[in-house]
Amino acid sequence: MEIKITKTTTPKEKPQGPLGFGKYFTDHMFVMDYTPEKGWHDARIVPFADLVLHPASTVFHYGAEIFEGLKAYRTANGDIQMFRPIENMNRMNQSAERLCLPQIDAEFGVEALKTFVELEKDWVPTEEGTSLYLRPFLFGADPFLGVHAVEKAQFLIIASPVGAYYATGLAPVKIMIESEDVRAVRGGTGYAKCGGNYAASNRAGAKAEAKGFSQVLWLDGVERKYVEEVGAMNVMFLIDDEIVTPALTGSILPGITRKSIIEILKDKGYKVSERLLSVDEIKDALATGRMKEAWGCGTAAVVSPIGQLTYEDNDYIINNGEIGALTQELYDTLTGIQWGKVEDKYGWICPVA
């Protein structure tokens, strides 16, 4: 499908000072429309603008929305590259399947990303640790209120230059294990990257934040016994010499960072287990000094060391509240590949311009 480009006649000033996350947007956006008759059509890049939607649009009433998140990185020699974008497009199709939204040819999705990032290349920041965050999203736009599978849909990509996640180095975070609310259940939408999962997470997130924690660690929705993931990150623990991460049982988001770290760890000869991990096992490993390190992993932060876990008002400190050697090594390896400082022997890098 051809992508029609209409350039803005009023380009914006690039932001000065700290970028933060998701505050500034580039000059354009990618848009395409879906109807059952025409399939996906009218792929276009147009000046960034507000959307005009019918007030009855499905997305506003029944939450038919999915999204992705990935970054474009500028390398030392000025090139621009993305990290495993095909994985994002494949995952978006899995999310679409779960929510009965129309799927997009994954290869075309990557082409759309490339074309869009190339047009916005001046927006990919150059400072250490910065990147252009890309947000593809897809939603139902049928203009009537009957509850039904979506027919009309829209897919967009918007982009935001973002700052280094850690202004002052990798600082360990405090995480609260949530024992009341649950984020997802098996058979539900936990494995889909959909806005609704975030809506369901807000209350626990707000409660944790009010108590001074950065995020919550979710437990499984049935027994509230097994750990699942942290906020918008997957989670891993180094217990003795085994790296343990919750298995993808259906209620956990299959992170691309998670998948990449597992591949790197196995490649380096570490023992990695994707399995059920109970809070009791974690408490026991902490009490007996076998819990060496813990970290969250996701596109935004890459790797986020966990310095403290709190469960039922008991605080458990991990690695003296400091970043562990393996956590640091994983951060260095992944960011090294993403910014083109470490050889990409896995073929994960997708050059743009």
Ligand X SMILES: *Cc1c(COP(=O)(O)O)cnc(C)c1O
Which stretches of the chain bind ligand X, using CB under 6 A? 69, 193, 229, 232-234, 253, 255-258, 298-299
Least distance CB 253 / ligand X (angstroms): 4
The Cα 63–Cα 170 span in angstroms is 35
The Cα 92–Cα 194 span in angstroms is 9
Please say which residue, 257 or 333, places its beta carbon nearer to ligand X: 257
CA 115 from chain centre, in angstroms, equals 21
Strand positions, DSSP E, 204-348 = 215-219, 227-230, 234-239, 242-246, 271-275, 291-298, 302-311, 314-317
Structural contact between residues 15 and 159, judged by C-beta atoms closer than 8 angstroms = no
Please say which residue, 53 or 156, places its beta carbon nearer to ligand X: 156
Please say which residue, 83 or 311, places its beta carbon nearer to ligand X: 83
C-alpha dihedral, 210 to 234 to 351 to 344, nearest 10° = 130
The Cα 231–Cα 205 span in angstroms is 8
Structure tokens at 208: 């944790």
Please say which residue, 258 or 292, places its beta carbon nearer to ligand X: 258
Please say which residue, 233 or 262, places its beta carbon nearer to ligand X: 233
Least distance CB 70 / ligand X (angstroms): 7
Least distance CB 248 / ligand X (angstroms): 11
Measured between alpha carbons, how far is residue 46 from residues 22, 26, 28, 117 in Å? 20, 11, 5, 13
Q: What is the DSSP letter of 321?
A: G
Structural contact between residues 253 and 230, judged by C-beta atoms closer than 8 angstroms = no
Least distance CB 305 / ligand X (angstroms): 16
Least distance CB 288 / ligand X (angstroms): 29
Backbone angles phi, psi at 277, to 5 degrees: -135, 115
Alpha helices in 159-312 (DSSP H): 195-210, 256-267, 279-287
Least distance CB 299 / ligand X (angstroms): 3
Please say which residue, 57 or 299, places its beta carbon nearer to ligand X: 299
Backbone angles phi, psi at 326, to 5 degrees: -70, -40
Instruction: Please list the residues that pair with 243 across neighbouring strands.
Output: 238, 272
Strand positions, DSSP E, 88-147 = 131-140
Least distance CB 20 / ligand X (angstroms): 18
Least distance CB 85 / ligand X (angstroms): 11
Least distance CB 65 / ligand X (angstroms): 13
Please say which residue, 81 or 152, places its beta carbon nearer to ligand X: 81
Please say which residue, 63 or 69, places its beta carbon nearer to ligand X: 69
Q: What is the DSSP letter of 223?
A: T
Tokens 């997802």 belong to: 184
Please say which residue, 142 or 197, places its beta carbon nearer to ligand X: 197
